[in-house]
Amino acid sequence: MAARRSADVRPNARRAEIYRTAAAIICERGFAGTSVNEIARALGMTKAGLYHYISSKEALLFEIMNFGMERVEAEVVRPVNGVRDPADRLRQLLVRHARIATRARGAVSLVMEETRALPPPLRKKIVQRMRAYFVVVRDTLKELEAAGQLQDVDPTVAAFSLFGTIHWLPRWFRPGGRLTVDDAADEIAKVALHGILRPRSSRRSGRAKAKTRKYR
């Protein structure tokens, strides 16, 4: 059973603190090696106090993942829905996602790797949300392919590669280092787009090749 939630998809500050603190501990010790007592102590709460917000450790893990996907949907997907140019849309998706991936030292992003620890019904819900986001990115890449702007790469493989690049960011980014969060996000977008988009000078021929493949 999932933790009790407000009707508002944006959790209050206390819930956000719980999710991020718990995620950081889970990332450090693994889900199996983390106890509710440890999470409660880190939050300055009693175990009973923490159970006011959650019903079980598995429910907490589910809520952390839901929280992460809500942030992606609210701060990445919805803001770019109206961007008609697929190249600009892809760049905004990458930059926006990279910016939120490092929050709380990337704990929420990294804990998404613990989906196997969820009970099957909860795991299915998270996988469905992740899949929906994946489709947004892959479909944008397919638009670029149809317009002759994509390199000769498979859109599905390219989408997985982009996610891998962003998910790796919390592992190497250091707050207070040479790069700011915005710097790192911009650099990731530049590297990724350079690798999958055709140079402008070759896009015309790319469009012709795309049409040829379409009508074969």
User: Domain segments of the chain: what residues?
Assistant: 66-214
The DSSP H or E segment spanning 9 is none
Q: Residue 2: is its pLDDT beyond 50?
A: no
Helix (H, G, I), strand (E, B) or coil at 82: coil
What is the predicted pLDDT for the residue at 105? 82
- How far the first Cα of the chain sits from its last, in Å, is 51
What is the predicted pLDDT for the residue at 207? 55
What is the predicted pLDDT for the residue at 1? 41
Residue 144: pLDDT band (50, 70, 90) is very high
What is the predicted pLDDT for the residue at 212? 54
Q: What is the mean pLDDT of residues 27-42?
A: 94
Cβ count near 70 (within 10 Å): 15
For residue 157 the two structure tokens come to: 């493989």
Cβ count near 136 (within 10 Å): 17
Residue 3: pLDDT band (50, 70, 90) is very low
What is the predicted pLDDT for the residue at 204? 55
What's this model's pTM, rounded to 2 decimal places? 0.83
Q: Output the CA angle 211-82-89, nearest 5 degrees.
A: 55
Helix (H, G, I), strand (E, B) or coil at 197: strand
Counting other chains too, the contacts that 207-216 makes at CB distance below 8 Å and 24 or more residues apart are: 207/147, 207/148, 207/149, 208/148, 209/148, 210/145, 210/146, 210/147, 210/148, 211/148, 214/146
What is the predicted pLDDT for the residue at 13? 87
Task: Fill in the amino acid letter for 69.
Answer: M
Mean pLDDT computed over every residue of the chain: 89
Distance, C-alpha 74 to centroid of its chain: 11
Q: Residue 168: is its pLDDT beyond 90?
A: yes
Domain 66-214, classified CATH 3.40.190.100, yes or no: no
Q: Residue 147: is its pLDDT beyond 70?
A: yes
